[in-house]
Amino acid sequence: MNARLEFPNTKPSTETQTGYIGASTPRAGAKRLLQGRGTYLDDMRLPRLAHVVFVRSPHAHAKVVSLNLQAARRQPGVIAAFDGKDIAAFCTPWVGVLGHLKGIKSAAQHAVAIDRVCWQGEAVAAIVAQTRRQAEDALEHVQVEWEVLPAVTDMHAALRGDMVIHPDLGDNICFTRSLKTDDFDEAMARADVVVEKTFSFARHTGVTNEPRAILADYNPAEHAMTVYHATQAPHMMQDIFSRHLDIPESQVRVVCKDVGGSFGIKVHVYADEMATAALSVMLKRPVKFVADRIESFLTDIHAREHEATVRLGCTKDGDILAFDLDDLTAIGPYSVYPRTSGIEGNQVVNLVGGPYKHKAYRAKLNVVFTNKNVTCQYRAVGHPIAVALTEGIVDEAAKALNMDPAAFRRRNLIPDDAYPYTFASGIKFEQLSHHQCLDKLLAMMDYDTLRAEQAQLRAQGVYRGIGLAAMIEVTNPSPAFYGVGGARISAQDGATVRLDPAGMVNVLVSVTEQGQGTEAIFAQIAASAVGVRVEQVRVTTGDTGVTPYGGGTWASRGAGIGGEAVLQAGKVLRSHILDVAACVLEKDKATLDVVGGMVVDKLTGAELTPLSEVGRVAYFRPDTLPMDFQSELTVTRHYTPRAYGFTFTNGIQAALVEVDPDTGFIKLLKHWCVEDCGTVINPMLVDEQIRGGIVQGLGGALLEECQYDSNGQLLNGSMADYLVPMAVEMPDIEVGHVQTPTQTSELGAKGAGEAGTAGAPGALMNAVNDALAPLLGGNLITAQPMTPQRVLTALGKLPA
C-alpha cells in the first residue's frame, strides 16, 4: 500500500492496476451453470420451431440410385422433406482450400449430398417436423436405393491412387509439402548415430459433451436471419451464412449462448448445419438441428490419423544435427471448409524438432483423401503428433548414446538466451524458456529420486517408466494462419468497455466463451484496467449483433488477443472516467485515480466519489458539466498480433506410469507439466485448462480411436464403445509455470489451451517405452492409442 504514495501526482492516470491479473478469482458466470440455469442451444424455445433430422448414408461410398421422400412427407407432424438438389437451390456449395497452402485441392461439397455419398454418415436428405420424435419416425419411411461403390479406406492405397475418390481431381492427394534446408545432406552424413522409427496415430475426435447444435431463424419480412449456434467463431459463421445463403452480411446475426465444450470441434462449417440454415430460409421459420451421439461420431470432425517416419542424426557426443520427417495423413473425402484439412499436417511439418537447436531439417508431407469422415483442426492441431514424433525419436537417440533422456534434452534444447530465433522449418520464436521449464519440471517431479525408485522396483519385477516431452505451441495466431490464404476469418479482436450509470462496467468482446473462462479473465482484466472490483464487471460475448468484430475462440487466442483489446479499452475508459471526475470534483485529472470503483485522490488514496456518481452526472446531468466537455464513457479498442506469425509458447511434460507386462495395462501414476504461457491471468483457470488438455492428450494416447473397417464402416460410434478418460483412470497432475510475457502486447499473455494436449501423448508414450525397455528387446511401442493389445504385441506376446 505504501507504494501508492510514492506515485508522482502528475503521472498520467492510466496505469494498469495489476489487481486481478494473476489472481485465482472464482469464475464469474459459473454459478448459473452449477444450478442448471445455463442456456445451451437445445435449451432454447422459439415459436413455430421445427426440428430437422437427416437421412444419412449407411455406406462409405455409394451412388444414390433413387431417393423417395413421398411416404416420409405423409407422416404425422412432418412439415417438409428435401433432397440435396432442393437444398442446393438455397445454399451454394463450397471448396475447402486456402491460397497459402500451395497446391491444396478439394472437391465441391454440398450441404446435403447430391447423387453420391463419400463417407458413412453423409446426409442425402433432410426431414423437418413439428417435433424431433416425429422427424425421426418419418426417417423410417424414406426409401433410398444405393449402388455401393468401392471405398478407399487405407491411406497408403489412397496415396497410390488405386482408386480415385474425386475423378476430377486426378488423384487422392489433397495437399503436399516438402522442405529441405541446404545443410541437410551434409548434416546427416556427418552424424555418428542415426535413429529412425515409424509411428502411427489413430483417428480420434473431440467428443464434446454437448453435441453440435444450431437453431436458424429466418425472417422473410426483413430477409434477415438470426442463427443461434454452438460455435467458436460467430463472425466467421456470419460471413459463411451470408455468402452461401445469399443474405447480406449485415442481415445475418450469429448468437452463441452457453456452449458445452468445443475443443476445435465447433469451429468448422458442417454440411448439416448449413442445411439447417438453408431449411429455415426455405420454410420461413426457425429450424433446429442437434446431433445425436451417433451423428457426432460419424460427422463431428475427426483428427490425427497419421503415419510418420522420423529420423534423427546426432554426434556421438549427443548433439542433434538433423531431423528428417515423412508424414502421411488421411483426411476423409473433403478438405473441411473454410480452414482446410491441410493445416494439421502442415503444423506437423512446422513443429517437428521445434524445441531443439539443430539447423538441418527435411520434411515431406502427403495429405490424402479417403472414404471416412472428414478430419480437421481439433485441439492442439498437429502438436500431439509432432511432439510424439520428436520426443519419441529423441528418446531413441538418447538410448542409442546411453545418455539420460533429461540430460540429452538439456544438451539440445534451444538455449534460453538465443532469442529471437528462427527454427529450421521457418517458424520464428520471440522468447522461449525451455531450460527454465526443464529445470523446474525435474525439481517438481524429483527426477533423480524417481529414477532411483524405478531401478529399485524394476529389480522387484515392477515396470515403471518415466517419459519426458518438451514442446512448443502455436498461440495468438496472426493473419498468417488463415487470412493470408484468403479465409474471411478475423485475426484481430475487439472489446467495447462501457461505464454504466450505476458504476458498473459493461464489457463486450468478440472472443467467445466455451467454458474455458474467457469471460472471467476478461472481467479480471477489465476490472484491473478500469480500477473497479471484479464484481462490478459484466461481460458479454458471442453475439455478432452486439460485440465488436473478431475471430472468436481457436488456436489459444482468447487471452492473448481478446485480453489485450480489453486491457487497452479499459485503460482508455479509466482515463475518460477521470476526465468526467475532474470536472465534477473540479480537480486536476492528474491528481485523481480510480481504485476499487471509487475515484480517489492519487496521492493520499482518499475516496472522493463513487463511479455511480460519475455515471449519474455524465448520463443524467451533463448540463452541470462545462459547455465544451462531452463525456465518452464507452471505449472500443482492437488488437492484432503482427510481429510474429504466432506467439509461440513452450513447456515440458513428464509422465510416470506402471505397466503390467502380462496384461498390457498401463496405470498412470502421476503427470507433471511446466508451461510458459506468458502472463498468467487466473492461475486456477489456467491450471485446470492445462490439466483438461493433458487428459484429452492422454485419452488419445491411451484409449481413443475411431475404428473403421476396410469398407469404411465406423465400428465404435457410441460412448460405450469409444472410450475417453474417466476420473478414476487419470492421475493427479501437477502444473507449474515459467512466465515469459510476450513483448508484443502490454498484457503479455500467450495461449494456454494447447499445451496439455500437445505434450501428453509424447510423454506417455516415452514413459511406457521406458517402463518396458528391459522387455522390448529394442522394439518400441509406436502406435497410439497404446491399447493393451498393442502393448502385448510389441512385447511379442500377441501376433503382430
Partner 1 sequence: MKEVTQTIDTVVNGEAMQCEVPVRMHLTDFLRESLDLTGSHLGCEHGVCGACQVMVDGEVVRGCLTLAVQADGKRVDTIEGLSEQGVLAQLQAAFLQHNALQCGFCSAGMLLSALELVREQPQATREAIREHISGNYCRCTGYQAIVDAIESVLQGKFAPASEART
By beta-carbon proximity to partner 1, the closer residue of 215 and 365 is 215
Identity of the residue, 81 or 401, whose beta carbon is nearer to partner 1 in the bound complex: 81
Under the criterion CB under 8 A, does residue 720 sit at the interface with partner 1?
Answer: yes
If one asks whether residue 260 binds partner 1 (CB under 8 A), the answer comes out as: yes
- 726 forms part of the interface with partner 1 (CB under 8 A): yes
Q: Find the angle CA(645)-CA(557)-CA(263) to the nearest 5 degrees.
A: 120
CB within 8 A of 546, min separation 6: which ones?
A: 508, 540
Look at strands 204-205 and 302-303 and give their pairing: antiparallel
d(CA 434, CA 575): 39
67 lines the binding site for partner 1 (CB under 8 A):
no
Q: Per CB under 8 A, does 730 bind partner 1? A: yes
Grid cell 446431433 — which residue? 291
- Which are the contacts of 189, defined by CB distance < 8 A and separation ≥ 6? none
Residue with cell 452541470: 624
Give me the least distance between CB of 670 and partner 1, in Å please: 12
Q: Which of 108, 443, 452, 719 binds partner 1 (CB under 8 A)?
A: 719
Could you tell me the end-to-end alpha-carbon distance of the chain, in angstroms, rounded to an integer? 68
Listed ranges 121-129, 204-212, 573-581, 781-789: which one lies at the site for partner 1 (CB under 8 A): 204-212
Distance of alpha carbon 401 from alpha carbon 539, whole angstroms: 55
Q: List the one residue from 22, 261, 622, 788 that touches partner 1 (CB under 8 A).
A: 261
Helices 518-530, 563-585: inter-axial angle, 10-degree rounding: 30
11 binds partner 1 (CB under 8 A): no
CB of residue 730 vs partner 1: minimum separation in angstroms? 5
Q: Which is nearer to partner 1, 108 or 726 (CB)?
A: 726
Report which DSSP code applies to 560.
Answer: I
**Contact call for residue 694 and partner 1 (CB under 8 A):** yes
- Kindly tell me which of 259 and 385 has the beta carbon lying closer to partner 1: 259
> Which one among 335, 433, 689, 740 touches partner 1, defined by CB under 8 A?
689
| Residue 705 in contact with partner 1, rule: CB under 8 A | no
DSSP letter at 119? S
Report cis status (omega within 30 of 0) of the bond before 338. yes
On the CB side of 704, CA atoms within 13 Å amount to: 22
Select the residue interacting with partner 1 from 5, 65, 76, 629 (CB under 8 A): 76
In the complex, the smallest distance separating the C-beta of residue 691 from partner 1, rounded to whole angstroms, is 3
Pattern 115-134, binding to partner 1, x per CB under 8 A? ------------------x-
Return the residue matching grid coordinates 557426443.
Answer: 317
Local structure of 464: helix, strand or coil: strand
CA distance 494 to 568: 10
Inter-residue contact 527 to 447 (CB < 8 Å): no
Asked if residue 688 binds partner 1 (CB under 8 A), the reply is yes
Positive or negative, the Cα torsion across 367, 372, 374, 376? negative
Site for partner 1 in 12-51 (CB under 8 A): 24, 26-27, 30-31, 33-40, 42-43, 45
Question: 32 or 642: whose CB is closer to partner 1?
Answer: 32
Entry field: residues in the chain:
800
Q: What is the dihedral of CA 724, 727, 730, 736, to 10 degrees?
A: 110
**Residue 708 C-beta: closest distance to partner 1, Å:** 21
Q: Specify which residues 205 forms β-bridges with.
A: 302
- The yes or no reply on residue 670 touching partner 1 (CB under 8 A) is no
Site string for partner 1, 499-538 (x = CB under 8 A): ---------------xxxx---------------------
Q: Does 248 bind partner 1 (CB under 8 A)?
A: no
287 lines the binding site for partner 1 (CB under 8 A): no
Asked if 206 is part of the footprint of partner 1 (rule: CB under 8 A), the reply reads yes
Q: CA-CA distance, 309 to 505, in Å (whole number)?
A: 54
Angle at 540 between CA 641 and CA 558, to 5 degrees: 25
Count residues binding partner 1 (CB under 8 A). 61
Residues that bind partner 1 (CB under 8 A): 24, 26-27, 30-31, 33-40, 42-43, 45, 75-76, 133, 137, 206-211, 258-261, 263, 292-293, 514-517, 684-685, 688-696, 718-720, 724-730, 732-733, 756
